[in-house]
Amino acid sequence: MTPLVRVEGLTKHFWVGGGPFGTGQSRLRAVDDVSFAVAPGETLGLVGESGCGKTTVGRMLLRLIEPTKGTVEFDGEDLLRLPPDKMRERRRNMQIVFQDPYGALNPRMTIEDIIKEPIEIHGTLNAKDARRRAGELLARVGLAHEHGRRYPHEFSGGQRQRIGIARALALNPRFIVCDEPVSALDVSIQAQIINLLQDLQDELGLTYLFIAHDLGVVKHISDRVAVMYLGKIVEIGDKRALYSQPLHPYTQALIAAVPEAKPRAERRKAVISGEIPSALNPPKGCRFHTRCPHVMPICRETEPPVTETAGRHLVACHLYPAGGVAAA
């Protein structure tokens, strides 16, 4: 199937520093040469540690952050070549639900106004229809009509996340970036929001990029999963294959380190140790080599190529040499 979203060599470098003592700026490699595709109606999960570049990827897809390099195609069209007015039009099809349910909503606007805002910006409906649509959207995400007259501070984290979702749905998008939509919520509210996102996907045929750092949540909601480490995708594959047979040592460590909701008699020992290196100065060769239990001399020198194993399962690790498995 032709992908709805296709990303090639996506890269973002930030210039940071010029610290308090006038030291020069340094290049922070937030996202480095990331490629993936998402099929219509599919959910691609994106996991990785804090700071590995997940939010930056999500925002670049919508051009809320301009990439340093790479291409972003939506429905076959290269978004990065579009002039601003055209891009704005395309954005109707692409929305984002933000990471922080507390900071993402304007505290001075009523809920109805927050939900109507995208409709007004794009001028798709007259005032009366916009109000009706806001009411529909509130109902769609399980809130009552009268909630529309209230302000964000009167809602709990889970309710605010619903409001963020209602707003993202306002223009009937085809694609939604969900940036850690449940990370700030407790498990029972988290389950409500995940079910809601899945229902909406079934009914409206939505396509999601679902960013999270909880591997259980990602496994539950995704069809395929991409694992990021220090600005790079190290593995991407069908979720069943990825969870049952993780190939990259970082993915293996992540899965082994998930604490099970089941008390046990003995203490577990950490699978891997060591600090996550800084994106200001990522390790040479494979970026994971400083923590990898299987590190070989080549890993310290050469960046591992991306190799495809059976069933669209991609991995970037020298344990899987390019010729060794069928490259596609």
Ligand X SMILES: Nc1ncnc2c1ncn2[C@@H]1O[C@H](COP(=O)(O)OP(=O)(O)OP(=O)(O)O)[C@@H](O)[C@H]1O
Strand ordering across the sheet containing 313-316: 94-97, 175-179, 207-211, 43-47, 224-229, 232-238, 313-316, 306-309
**Nearest-CB residue to Mg ion?**
55
Ramachandran quadrant class, 179 (left: phi over 0; alpha: psi -120 to 50; beta: rest): beta
238: nearest Cα among 39, 5, 61, 50:
39
3-state secondary structure of 245: coil
Site for another protein contains 326 (CB under 8 A): no
Give the footprint of another protein on residues 131-160 (CB under 8 A).
156-159
Query: Binders of ligand X: how many residues, by CB under 6 A?
Result: 16
198 binds, among Mg ion, another protein, ligand X, none (CB under 5 to 8 A by kind): another protein
**Closest CB 269 distance from Mg ion, rounded Å:** 29
**Closest CB 16 distance from ligand X, rounded Å:** 5
Q: H-helix or E-strand containing 312?
A: none
C-alpha 139/C-alpha 44 separation (Å) is 27
**Closest CB 183 distance from ligand X, rounded Å:** 8
Burial annotation 88-119 (CB, 10 A radius, 16+ → b, else e): eeebbbbbbbbbebeebbeeeebbbbbbbbbb
Give the footprint of another protein on residues 177-216 (CB under 8 A).
183-192, 194-195, 198, 213-216
14 or 117: CB nearest another protein: 14
C-alpha 289/C-alpha 188 separation (Å) is 38
Site for ligand X contains 50 (CB under 6 A): yes
19 binds, among another protein, ligand X, Mg ion, none (CB under 5 to 8 A by kind): another protein
**Closest CB 281 distance from ligand X, rounded Å:** 11
Q: Which tokens hold the place of 225?
A: 């999963």
CA torsion angle for 62, 64, 66, 70 (degrees, to 10)? Answer: -20
In eight-state DSSP terms, residue 275 is P
Site for ligand X contains 55 (CB under 6 A): yes
Give the footprint of ligand X on residues 97-156 (CB under 6 A).
99
**Closest CB 147 distance from another protein, rounded Å:** 12
**Closest CB 80 distance from Mg ion, rounded Å:** 22
Q: Are 159 and 143 a contacting pair, CB within 8 Å?
A: yes
Instruction: Pick the binder of another protein from 91, 116, 219, 289 (CB under 8 A).
Output: 219
C-alpha 65/C-alpha 267 separation (Å) is 43
Task: Give the binding site for Mg ion (CB under 5 A).
Answer: 55
Report the interface residues with ligand X, using CB under 6 A. 14, 16, 28, 30, 48, 50-56, 99, 186, 213, 279
Contacting residues toward another protein, per CB under 8 A:
17, 19-20, 48-52, 156-159, 183-192, 194-195, 198, 213-217, 219-220, 243, 253-255, 257-264, 267-279, 291
